[in-house]
Structure formats: C-alpha cells, structure tokens
C-alpha cells in the first residue's frame, strides 16, 4: 500500500469547504484534466458512486469510485473500483481556530508489481505531488470564491 497526502489551507468555513469538495461535477473547475459525475445515488451518502474521467486529449482513463464513508463537514472516503487506480481516497476538512479550514487529500493506493511497484512509486511520488498541488490550490481559490457567491461566511 502506498500513500500520498497533501494539504491546503482554505479561507472558508469547514461546511462550505466540504460542500465544495463534494460538488462532484464542480471538480472539473479545479482538478486539472478531470471531469466527475455521479453514476449512482445522490453523491452525498454511503453507497453512492461517482466516475472521474481524467484525460489529456484522447488519452485518459476512468476512475469509478464508491463512497464508503460520509461525515459532513469533516470527511468523505471513497473506494476506487477501476483497473487503473485501486485503493481508497479520503477528503478531510479540518476546522482551524480562525474559522478557516485545512483540506487534506490522502490516497492509499494498491500498487501492481509488489516491491517493484512500491519502489517506482517512491520515485514518482514527489512528481505526482507537484502535479496535484496546483489543483488543490485552485480548489482553495474556487471554494473561497463560492463563499462570496453563496453569501456564507
């Protein structure tokens, strides 16, 4: 099992950050190259399924997931069901003392090729982190803008 974990501070309250994170179709606004849609259920409860399509032009892959934990406004966990991405992912929102939030994005990935896969991931992890972090920062800006649009403080 390999882990990748990233965090970003967001100048918005936890409820708003959580709702922005779980606006699945809105993820395309901040996650580079990805579109998400709900395929079963309401997308806001255990058992719901979502499908993320990550692509660059015609080259891409589908990442079907099932929500396995839902604790608004703190945590949502998904189980990846596809052939490319396997394992679990979690979005956690931490309330900070000043009324803002910290968003934690964690993936626990089942890697192919045993120790070789883990060794390869150890090499790739810093590059993957650097590729994902700009999207998480874009999420922070997007959530902060939603705060102004929704009128929530």
pTM score, whole prediction: 0.87
pLDDT of 121 higher than 80: no
**Residue 57 within any structural domain of the chain:** no
**Residue 60 within any structural domain of the chain:** no
**Residue 109 within any structural domain of the chain:** yes
**Residue 120 within any structural domain of the chain:** yes
Cβ–Cβ < 8 Å for 9, 136: no
Task: Dump strand ranges (E) for 15-151.
Answer: 34-40, 49-56, 59-71, 75-81, 86-95, 101-109
**Residue 126 within any structural domain of the chain:** yes
Domain extent for 12 = 2-30+70-150
pLDDT in tens, 24-76: 999 999 998 999 999 999 999 999 999 999 898 889 999 999 999 999 999 99
**Residue 93 within any structural domain of the chain:** yes
**Counted domains in the chain:** 1
**Residue 47 within any structural domain of the chain:** no
Would residue 142 be called left, alpha or beta, if left means φ above 0 and alpha means ψ between -120 and 50 degrees? alpha
CATH of the domain at 133: 3.30.530.20
pLDDT in tens, 94-118: 999 999 999 999 999 887 777 777 7
Give me Rg for the CA atoms of the chain: 15
**Residue 137 within any structural domain of the chain:** yes
């Amino acid at each position: 099992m390999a882990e990748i974990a990233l965090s970003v501070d967001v100048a918005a309250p936890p409820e708003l950050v959580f709702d922005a994170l779980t606006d699945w179709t809105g993820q395309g606004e901040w996650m580079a190259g990805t579109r998400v849609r709900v395929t079963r259920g309401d997308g806001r409860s255990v058992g719901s399924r979502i499908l993320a399509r990550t692509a660059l032009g015609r080259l891409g892959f589908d990442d079907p997931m099932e929500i396995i934990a839902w604790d608004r406004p703190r945590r949502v966990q998904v189980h990846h069901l596809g052939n490319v991405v396997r394992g679990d992912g979690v979005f956690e929102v931490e309330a900070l003392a000043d009324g803002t939030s910290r968003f934690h994005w964690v993936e626990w990935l089942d890697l192919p090729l045993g120790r070789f896969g883990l060794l390869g991931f150890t090499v790739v992890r810093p590059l993957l982190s650097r590729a994902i972090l700009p999207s998480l920062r874009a999420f922070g800006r997007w959530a902060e803008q939603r705060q102004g649009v929704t009128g929530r403080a």
